[in-house]
Each structure stands twice: as C-alpha cells, then as structure tokens.
Structure 1
C-alpha cells in the first residue's frame, strides 16, 4: 500500500504528467455534463418516466450503455462517440477487401491522416442518419398518453434542429477525444466510452446496498458475490494481457565499421487479439429480435421469436456464445495478417528458428494464432454470458453487467492501456510505476 501511495505522489511530481491527467479529467467532466443536457423541446419528466418502463434488452439499451445514459436522457451527446466507432470499423473492414484502402494503411503517417479524414466524414454522415432515427424514436415516445415531444413544437423545424444538435454533439465529442489523445493521457475515444460505463457503477453498488438494507440479501452472500467479481476481473486482466511470444532472430549485417542485427526479438501474439469487438458484433445481432418487437409489439410471430432470444434464456446464451467464437476468429483474421508479418520479417532479414522465411513462416504464425484464439474465444463467450447467469442468483441487473460482457472488457482494456501510458511517463523519469514493483535495473547498476 505504501508503494502505491508513493507512486501516486510521484505522478503529481512530474509537471507534464500532472498537466496531462488534469486536462484529461477536465474534458471527461465536459463529456459527462453534456450527457445530462436534454435536447430543446423535450419534456424531461415524461422522458424519464417513459424510459423507466422500457427494457434495456435491445439495441437501444446497448447503445445507451456505450454513451453513458445520454441516449435515455435524450441529451445533446445522445449519439456519443459511437458514429465515430462505426465509421472506424467500416474503414477497417473495408481495408481487408478494398486495395486502395489497404495501400493507405501501409503508407504510414500520410495514409493514416487520409484515413482519419475519411473517418471524420463518415462520422458526420452516420451520425446524421442516426440522429434522424432518434427524432423518430422520440416522436413515438409517450407516457400515459402524453407525448414526450409536445404537439405544438412537432414539425420539420424541430426535427431539423434536433438532427443538427445531435450531429454537432457527436462532432464535439470526437474533437474532445482527439484532444485527450494528443494533449492528455490515454486513448481519448476509449476513455470517453470508459467513463460512460463506469458512471453506472455507483448506482449498481447502491442497488446492492438497498437489497442489503431491505433484508433481501445476506451480508455473507454479498461478500461472496464481491469476491467472485474480483476473481472474474483478475481472469479478464490475465487473458487481456496474455500473449504467446514467437522468437525471431535477425542475421548480422556489417555496414561500414558497425555490425547490425544478430539479436533475438519476439512477436507477441495476443490470446485475445480481437478484443471486445466479437461481443459487440454478436450482441448487436442478438438484440435485433427484441428491437423489432419494440417496433411491432402486437405482432405474435415476432413476439414468439423474441421469446427465444430472452436475455436470461438458455437458447440466447448458447447462440450468443457460438456467435462470439465465430466473430473472434473473423475479426482476428481481419486485424492480424500473418502473410504481411512474414513478408516484413523477410525484408528485414529476420527468421523464426527452424522455419523457412516466407510462406512457411506465415503458415507457422497462422497455425499458432489459430490455436491460441480458440481458448481466447471460449473465454470471451463465458465472460459475455456470465451476467445472465449471475442475475439468476438474485444479483441486481445493473450490478450483474459488471461481472462480464462488454462493460467489463472495455473497463479492463482501457484501464490497462491508460496505466501503461502513465507507467511509461514514470519510468522515463526513473520512478517506479503502478504495474511493476522493485528497483529499476538502470538505477541499481
């Protein structure tokens, strides 16, 4: 504990790191404020009453999770950063099939700038369409016969102004994310999603406390639940950081009077290369039946199909798990190209001991990646369906979502990435960081 306190004090001893952290916190506060500023013309009291009676087991609930409740508040930041994420995913997937985008991805800084520019344009287009859908959703919402959007302001003027506000909110959040990345600490886009999810944690703890206060939960059982949650988080951290290192040797080269190469490096293949994307893809598809049912509540056929996709049903969990395993392999194949890695190694004079450069190296890497992706995908599937099983044992729904699924994976991934960046700042100035203990070798010898 003393080491942790000393490390925390060291953070604020470094002027640049202190300024970056305070700058990041200030911008994240602005993001949370914008998530509670309701759009003009909407009755906030009727909106909260209508949203309290709606279910979260649909695409709207998933979307609201990523934007930190801004969607249910019909706030200026209701679309959040998700249109930017969608545009980024579309361009990333297009890079696997469109040769020109593949070329841009390999051009380094100039290609990255061009792709970033396209991503921004795509963000505006996607957010405009999504904002139009939000206006339709708000116009159809009512509580006990009273519309959320008053009749006197309905019309093309309100629709257009709402779309402009929502698109402007998304562009502003995108700018804030880029500012955090450039002048703050951590990845700005990821931190915005992170802070929106973690904002719900105090309310989840409060729900558990109410169960204890009402006598519906035994204190010993609550301690066991919390201990199990800690074990799950530890497992997610372990798998998130788990890698399979492949040794790579480089031949010696003599340039002038200097000798280059002759060292052994490693290719770190992550157990969970796909990250949280398989769960997002699978969850989006699994929520389609319940979302359709919300649009057609009186359709018996859609209602019967939606019954099989109930969040707590065995059918839902099984199909959900299978889809996660499939999307893990699918996204890993897109995100990591063994052929490209093998070609780069060959150009730089590197080779894997016992493996011929070129095609055999690519097949060797692909074989290892396929093997380590299987346990990673199964673990992702278990983590994804864990909240549904935990909720069956009396855990409140708001608290159960932190036992796994998208929420926990995003929280762990973003927290580890931010801690590693803080760690690098500390180590550069010869301070011990959060993630390692003991003396730095450079100071001991």
Structure 2
C-alpha cells in the first residue's frame, strides 16, 4: 500500500525544511502586512475606509488592497507589496526587446545577474515614486478625517513614510527571493498567493453578512459558487493541458559509440504564457492607477485619468484586455523563442516528422500563434469575471475579486507549480507523489 503522501512530505528532511522555511517567511510577511507605518492613526483610518463602502475611491482601495493582501487599507509597511518589483521587471523586459545592446549584455556570462541588479535598483526608484504618491493620498484622507496623520510636521511624516514603505517593499522582494532559494515554489508568486489567501476569511464573512442583511439574494450566491467551482475545474484543465510536438533524432556515430535514433517531443502548454500576462497587465495598470488616484486632488487632468482607470469602468477593463493579449504574445516570444528552439533541434540532429528542416522555425511559430490567441482571450475572459460578478450579483469587491481574474489564476497556478515541485522532491527521495498521476507513473 502506498504511504500517505502528506506524511511523506514531513518525513523527507529536505522537503520538511523547505516547507517549514516557506511557512516561516510567509508568517513574517503577514506580520509586516498588519504593522501600520509610523504617524498613522490606525483606528481613524479603519473608520474612513468603512465609511467609503462604495464609489470610485472604494474600488481603487479594494483593488490596491487585493495585491497587497489587505495591507494597503491598513497603511502597513508592506502596503505596496511586490508590485513595484513586478512593474520594474516589465519595464526591463520591454527594454531588452527594444534595445539590442541591452539584450546582448543580458546574454553574456553573468548577464542575468546584471539584469537582476538593474531590476532591484529600478524597484527602489519605482517604490520612491509610489510611496510619495501615498503621502499625498494620506494627506487627502487627513483632510477628510482630521487626526488620521498623527505628526503635525508633514515634512517629517512624508520622509518617514517614503523611507518606511520603500524599505518594506524591498524587504518583501527579499523575502520572496529567500523562498525561491530555500523554500518551496517561486517566491514572488508565493508572496502574492499568501496575500490572496489571507483575504479569504474576511471576504466570506462579508458575503455572509450581506446575505443575512438581505442585500444579496442567496440564490445568486449558490449560482456564483457553482460558477466558481466550474471555473476552477476549467482553469486546472487549461493549466495542465499540453500540445506535444514530436521530434525525431537521427542516429549519430561518435567514436565507437552510436547516439540518437530516439523520438521525443516538445511540450507546449495550451496557454504557453501561464498567468504572467494577467499579472503583468495588472501591475502595468496599478502604477498609473495609484498615481492618478493619489494625486487627483492636485491636478484636474489626473482626476480625469483616475475616473477613466476606475477598476469597475469600461475603459480600465478594455485596456486590461488589450494588455493581456499583448503580454501573452510578448512573454511567449521571450520565453519560447521559435528561432532558438529550431536551432537546438537542428544542432542535435533532430527534425519534426513531416516538416522540412528549414521550415521548423516557421512551423513552431505557427503552432504558438494558434495557442497564444485562444490562451490570451481565455485569460482576458477570466480577468473580466470579477467586474461582471460585482456588477450583476452586487457582490462585495473582496469576494468578487476572489472568484475570478488574477486571484483565481494565481491561486490555481501557484498551487499546481508548488505541488509539482513537492512531488518531484518526493519522487527524488523514492516516495509516492501527491497525485494519482504520480502513482500511475510508478505502476501503482
């Protein structure tokens, strides 16, 4: 009989250490998410956000809070989370494509380390800009709720807030790096994952209160739950699906030995770019959204931008769909370059059955194009779900954001990737995997 996989996870010393280390780092991150920055009256701040239960400002706060795991409305030291880091990554990835000289540097020995250093330096500048906008946002709250800012000296508060929030974001990035190096899963994704999961209890509680108060029909809740489960099943199927491109390698004689002659395949996922396009699109919009909302009281044109970028409005969702499609093509071309794949196949004496060797690159590009467009439209449809659910069913922003869009894709995607890593470690130490598929592969 196969041993219990969950028990085996804690029997393997390496896996146990990685799991406990990951839980410890996530606990530290969640602790930082509830520590209010110096100079803010947490009680008055809570009352302010309770009073703006609807409207554009509430939609903005809920949107920012979603990515920060509830830290934004608390004005915590981690209120920006890792989004500045992701925004900087997008800028650098675009720069590498636009400027060939930067791409050559990145491809040299040690080039990736240079890119990582540039990303971190760029993240500091993005954090400084966003944290300065936060001080203006805090001042506008203080004008509506006198006493929200404790310090009378505004210059002192602004400097302290900028330093605290910037340092907090860089610590969040560092925590993510530690998970990647010594824990389980991809660190930055795990940080976002933890923030989403942390909001589940409060979101469910708010939904229950709405139902008990008669604000939401219980039939709508039942329909939404079944819709949610169906979407999860569809997302899991889509994330696991693959298009396999067969490759046959010719026999080669090297010295007295013969190599090759076997067949293999290139696995292309149904959605090659995964959850990255929707994360990139959200991060790309977060930066101007925060700046516009925070500084809207200072300039009329910024208030118009803030109105256009209302997360529940048409233009915001339209721009997000376009960005998702763009980043789906962009990220897939960067990570799955048909030219490089075709080159590797040729250099290893391989060929795709039925395809001439000189047409390999064109064929791979054609296959990817057929996968990218449906995959990007699928991501766009998922991204629009929270807005649709919130408008039609009148669900609270917290619960509607968890029933679709970025949250659902991240939850499923990170869970699948983490389970795959755990299963690989279990099999490496000769234990059963977590899934039936893993058991079948071992003939059990």
Report the TM-score when normalising by structure 1: 0.87
The residue aligned with 1:139 is 139
Q: C-alpha distance in 2, partners of 1:406/1:362?
A: 32
Alpha-carbon distance change, 205 to 261 in structure 1, aligned in 2, over 3 angstroms: same
Describe how 1:18-33 pairs up with structure 2 within 5 A: 18-33=16-31
**SS of aligned partner of 2:357:** coil
d(CA) in 2 for partners of 1:139 and 1:418?
41
**Alpha-carbon separation, structure 2, partners of 1:413 and 1:227:** 20
Deviations 1:242-275 (A, max 9, x none): 2211112222222233222222222222232233
> Contact 2:127 / 2:166 at 8 angstroms: preserved in 1?
yes
Structure 1 residues 69 and 143, CA, compared in 2 at 3 Å: closer, same or farther? farther
3-state SS of paired residue (2:97): coil
- The answer as to whether partners of 1:91 and 1:119 remain within 8 angstroms in 2 is yes
* Residue 70 (structure 2) aligns with: 69
The residue aligned with 2:33 is 35
**Displacement of 1:194 after TM fit?**
0.8
Name the structure 1 match of 2:351. 351
* 8 A Cα contact 1:17 1:425, kept in partner: yes
Q: Which residue of 1 aligns with 2:212?
A: 213
1:363 alignment counterpart: 362
Aligned twin of 1:399 = 399
| C-alpha distance in 1 between matches for 2:166 and 2:286 | 27
In the TM superposition, 1:381-400 aligns within 5 A as: 381-391=380-390, 392-400=392-400
- Report the CA distance shift for 1:443/1:313 in structure 2 as closer, same or farther (over 3 A): closer
Aligned to 2:429: 429
Q: Is the 8 A contact 2:130 2:291 kept in 1?
A: no
**1:362/1:440 CA distance change after superposition, 3 Å:** same
Moved more, 302-311 or 138-147: 302-311
- Structure 1: where are the runs of 5+ without partners? none
Partner-residue secondary structure (3-state), 2:94: helix
Q: Does 1:89 align with 2:87?
A: no
Contact between 2:137 and 2:295, CA under 8 Å: does it hold in 1? no
CA shift for structure 1 position 39: 0.9
Post-superposition shift, 1:101? 3.3
Question: Does the CA-based 8 Å contact 1:46-1:143 persist in structure 2?
Answer: no
Aligned ranges 1:310-325 → 2 under 5 Å: 311-312=311-312, 320-325=320-325
**Against the structure 1 CA distance between its residues 296 and 26, is the aligned structure 2 distance closer, same or farther, given a 3 Å change threshold?**
closer
Point out the more displaced range, 299-308 or 343-352: 299-308
Deviations 1:72-98 (A, max 9, x none): 211111222222222222222222223
TM-aligned CA distance change 1:318 to 1:123, over 3 Å: closer
Cross-structure match for 1:196: 195
C-alpha distance in 2, partners of 1:306/1:402?
Answer: 23
1:235 shift after superposition:
1.0
Alignment of 1:7-406 (within 5 A): 7-52=5-50, 53=52, 55-58=57-60, 61-107=62-108, 110-142=110-142, 144-150=144-150, 152-155=152-155, 157-215=156-214, 221-280=220-279, 282-283=281-282, 284-285=284-285, 292=292, 295-296=295-296, 311-312=311-312, 320-358=320-358, 360-391=359-390, 392-406=392-406
Q: Is the 8 A contact 2:37 2:161 kept in 1?
A: yes
Q: Counterparts of 2:305 and 2:204 in 1: how far apart (Å)?
A: 34
Q: CA-to-partner distance for each residue in 1:339-395, whole Å, 9 max, x for gaps? A: 22212222222221222334x211111111111112112211211111222221243
Q: What RMSD, in angstroms, separates the aligned Cα atoms of the two structures? A: 3.1
C-alpha distance 286-71 of structure 1, shift in aligned 2 (>3 A): closer
Give how far 1:312 is off.
Answer: 4.9
SS at structure 1 position matched to 2:366: helix
